[in-house]
Chain A
């Protein structure tokens, strides 16, 4: 494993070291052992407590978890990677790069991964752990399949790689995905694109009304992890909250829920930046577009929320939520948007939610997961089974 900065990357010194185009069997033991070692290192580090997202990654890499994924694949032994996969990691979510790397490694590929320009603390921590484990002699083979780099947007070496790699994984936004789709590619290249998506939380008002203070705290913390932890920037962070219940229970449930969320933010969110100001400016622009005032449900700068149709327009970020109140699950269907990705739920039957989503003609919902799990990436993500998409199954007959 090597890490190159933008200048080093441009000079392409890795060409003499990295075995470009090499592929391997899917789900090799050497990879599983490597990941398990990464897992123990992450989870035993003091940083795991500091970065809940890094800890989640640590749990994800455990051998039992990985083997569970692999056991779902049929004919695993005839599956092989496609070659060298180029990964373009997202700039907004600190540790997605690590998940992308795991997808590439497990599916039997050699991996070249572009890190986000911004140095996130938890990314720096994970890179250190990955490097340490890769440097152990027993992981030499795996280590040779990993190359991390940073580069400018217009890097020539990057363009060259896009044109010569066997697979391309791009974590968008739409603009980024479109940018890479326009670039010349190898005809046989496999592309896995993750464009912009939006997400919704569906909450049972009556279930929330009946919570004990401890249960309410736990729910609010889960919601905090889904949203404020990443400034609501992740595609799977809910920007819309659909309440199932009547008006009366909405008023009482939403009041205690948001108060509890605000409490979590006050005690956990500590980075000072322009988030509060940006949110005010977002309201300002929406008011300007609407040509009238917009009724906000709360005057707290921490949680900005509204049931006004105009408020639903993007951006909804830094703790801004469009709210909807409907009387049953079925009625929530029409409020799911065409690029809806994740539905997080509380106090509701997941099977009923699945049926509701399935009954919609034009739904693209890919995930139905409990509140608190919105950001938990798996090998099946955004409706894409990455182990299958980044490998090939050899026919033997």
Chain B
């Protein structure tokens, strides 16, 4: 396999390609369905460039339990929130993958925001025991990097003002982290505004992810979110992250120049949605995410349903050399209809 690796690739990509090829072979030898699929669709299991690495459509996890370890080794199963409703993704996690996810998250986070632990204010209620969702994965992951977690909401979604006041009294004077889905952060800002509490978030870093879809109809943009956070809380650091439950740990963080950066152990490719051909930097298309930390399920190369665009130039004003990604939203659903539905 390694014979296939041309020396012309940048060092990071060369290492990534080697690791991905190894993972493709690893999962193909342990999962018959995965092997049968990639053998049907792709020329070769062993790729000579990143664009040739076989990939799964991310929705494949919704229909089948794709796993590469024995049932007894599975520690827990994560599930996606399931935007398309009916079926949830099922991602099987073993001890090793779980450890790799935590380590990747810690590395990606500290390379963007530094190593110091800070208190975490989750814009969520205390998690119930209902399975491993994207939200739980995010809060668990970031909690492990924090010096303690507080929950800003009550189970009914209203502000838990006592917790908030207690948290602020204790931590307002030091750097702290605020975490939530993008729409939850927006709702949180609206709630604070309407209650009229004065809180000093000038030392806070607000991290939000999960997409803008729920905010589109009220036309909340990144800029408006940032302005509102500054206005309501005095918060100057609002950063987006891009990640998915199918690649937990491999998170794209927004730098201070507004660009999402690929995780250390991963990368992204943009594909034309019609031809699925790779697109050059600067061109829009479907985002394919690459990561090297998935050992218990074949999730190292996934074609998402998000539209995005890769930065045209290597590196970024922030000084990082990793590729930058912009997420433009979700692609629209094809009309999934046979001759069958006058009646929809």
* A-to-B contact residues, CB < 8 Å: 88-92, 114, 116-118, 153, 170-176, 179, 194-197, 231, 233-235, 265-266, 269, 272-278, 280-281, 283-285, 287-288, 290-296, 299-302, 314-315, 317-318
Answer whether residue B276 sits at the interface, using C-beta atoms and an 8 A cutoff.
yes
Q: Output the least CB separation between A92 and chain B (Å).
A: 4
Assess the B335–A233 pair: CB atoms within 8 A: yes
Assess the A172–B331 pair: CB atoms within 8 A: no
Q: Output the least CB separation between B98 and chain A (Å).
A: 26
Assess the A315–B338 pair: CB atoms within 8 A: yes
Contact with A along B302-344 (1 / 0, CB 8 A): 0101010000000000000000000000011111111111111
Assess the B334–A92 pair: CB atoms within 8 A: no
Q: Give the residue name and chain of the A residue nearest to B84 (CB).
A: A274
Complex contacts, B63 vs chain A, CB 8 Å? 281, 284-285, 288
Q: Give the residue name and chain of the A residue nearest to B337 (CB).
A: A92
Q: Output the least CB separation between A392 and chain B (Å).
A: 26
Answer whether residue B273 sits at the interface, using C-beta atoms and an 8 A cutoff.
yes
Q: Give the residue name and chain of the A residue nearest to B340 (CB).
A: A173
Complex contacts, B335 vs chain A, CB 8 Å? 91-92, 118, 231, 233, 273
Whole-angstrom CA separation of A53 from B267 in the bound complex: 43
Answer whether residue B195 sits at the interface, using C-beta atoms and an 8 A cutoff.
no
Whole-angstrom CA separation of A94 from B42 in the bound complex: 35
Assess the B57–A173 pair: CB atoms within 8 A: no
Whole-angstrom CA separation of A293 from B303 in the bound complex: 20
Complex contacts, B40 vs chain A, CB 8 Å? 283, 287, 293-296
Assess the A275–B57 pair: CB atoms within 8 A: no
Question: Given A273-B331, A274-B273 in contact, is the A233-B305 Cβ separation under 8 Å?
Answer: no
Contact of B339 among A172, A179, A284 (CB under 8 A): A172
Question: Given A91-B344, A287-B36, A296-B41 in contact, is the A281-B60 Cβ separation under 8 Å?
Answer: yes
Q: Output the least CB separation between A169 and chain B (Å).
A: 10
| Contacts A173-B341, A233-B337, A272-B307 supplied; 9 other A-B pairs, CB < 8 Å | A196-B338, A196-B340, A272-B331, A276-B273, A276-B276, A280-B41, A280-B276, A283-B40, A315-B338
Whole-angstrom CA separation of A317 from B334 in the bound complex: 11
Complex contacts, B334 vs chain A, CB 8 Å? 231, 273-275, 278, 318
Answer whether residue B286 sits at the interface, using C-beta atoms and an 8 A cutoff.
yes
Complex contacts, A314 vs chain B, CB 8 Å? 338
Answer whether residue B43 sits at the interface, using C-beta atoms and an 8 A cutoff.
yes
Whole-angstrom CA separation of A287 from B334 in the bound complex: 22
User: Which one of A195, A276, A280, A292 has the greatest number of beta carbons of chain B within 10 Å?
Assistant: A276
Q: Give the residue name and chain of the B residue nearest to A237 (CB).
A: B339
Jot down 6 A-B pairs with beta carbons below 8 A, ordered by A.
Answer: A90-B339, A196-B339, A197-B339, A277-B303, A281-B59, A315-B338
Complex contacts, B303 vs chain A, CB 8 Å? 277, 280
Contact of B39 among A117, A277, A278, A293 (CB under 8 A): A293
Q: Give the residue name and chain of the A residue nearest to B303 (CB).
A: A277
Q: How many residues of B contact A (CB 8 A)?
A: 39
Complex contacts, B36 vs chain A, CB 8 Å? 287-288, 290-294
Complex contacts, A175 vs chain B, CB 8 Å? 340-341, 343
Answer whether residue B274 sits at the interface, using C-beta atoms and an 8 A cutoff.
yes
Complex contacts, A296 vs chain B, CB 8 Å? 40-41
Assess the A233–B338 pair: CB atoms within 8 A: yes
Assess the B340–A176 pair: CB atoms within 8 A: yes
Contact of B343 among A88, A277, A284, A293 (CB under 8 A): A88
Complex contacts, B56 vs chain A, CB 8 Å? 284
A-B pairs with CB below 8 Å: how many? 153
Q: Give the residue name and chain of the B residue nearest to A179 (CB).
A: B343
* B-to-A contact residues, CB < 8 Å: 32-33, 35-37, 39-43, 56-57, 59-60, 63-64, 273-277, 286, 303, 305, 307, 331-344
Q: Output the least CB separation between A219 and chain B (Å).
A: 21
Assess the A274–B37 pair: CB atoms within 8 A: no
Complex contacts, A283 vs chain B, CB 8 Å? 37, 40-41
Whole-angstrom CA separation of A91 from B335 in the bound complex: 10
Complex contacts, B286 vs chain A, CB 8 Å? 276-277
Q: Output the least CB separation between A114 and chain B (Å).
A: 7
Complex contacts, B336 vs chain A, CB 8 Å? 278
Complex contacts, A233 vs chain B, CB 8 Å? 335, 337-339
Complex contacts, B331 vs chain A, CB 8 Å? 272-274, 277
Question: Given A283-B40, A285-B63, A287-B37 in contact, is the A176-B333 Cβ separation under 8 Å?
Answer: no
Assess the A299–B338 pair: CB atoms within 8 A: no
Assess the B275–A302 pair: CB atoms within 8 A: yes
Assess the B57–A91 pair: CB atoms within 8 A: no
Q: Give the residue name and chain of the A residue nearest to B41 (CB).
A: A283
Q: Give the residue name and chain of the B residue nearest to A275 (CB).
A: B334
Assess the B37–A172 pair: CB atoms within 8 A: no
Whole-angstrom CA separation of A180 from B258 in the bound complex: 55
User: Which one of A170, A195, A317 has the greatest number of beta carbons of chain B within 10 Å?
Assistant: A317
Assess the B332–A176 pair: CB atoms within 8 A: no
Whole-angstrom CA separation of A305 from B128 in the bound complex: 47
Assess the B41–A299 pair: CB atoms within 8 A: yes
Assess the B33–A287 pair: CB atoms within 8 A: yes
Whole-angstrom CA separation of A281 from B35 in the bound complex: 15
Q: Give the residue name and chain of the B residue nearest to A173 (CB).
A: B340
Assess the B274–A272 pair: CB atoms within 8 A: yes
Assess the B41–A91 pair: CB atoms within 8 A: no
Which 4 pairs of residues, A with B, have the shortest CB-CB distance? A173-B340, A301-B276, A293-B39, A273-B334
Whole-angstrom CA separation of A315 from B343 in the bound complex: 19
Q: Give the residue name and chain of the B residue nearest to A316 (CB).
A: B338
Q: Give the residue name and chain of the B residue nearest to A302 (CB).
A: B275
Question: Given A275-B273, A293-B39 in contact, is the A288-B339 Cβ separation under 8 Å?
Answer: no
Q: Give the residue name and chain of the A residue nearest to B333 (CB).
A: A274
Complex contacts, A284 vs chain B, CB 8 Å? 37, 56-57, 60, 63-64
Whole-angstrom CA separation of A299 from B42 in the bound complex: 7
Q: Output the least CB separation between A350 and chain B (Å).
A: 25
Whole-angstrom CA separation of A234 from B339 in the bound complex: 6
Assess the A300–B305 pair: CB atoms within 8 A: no
Assess the A273–B332 pair: CB atoms within 8 A: yes
Complex contacts, A273 vs chain B, CB 8 Å? 273, 331-335
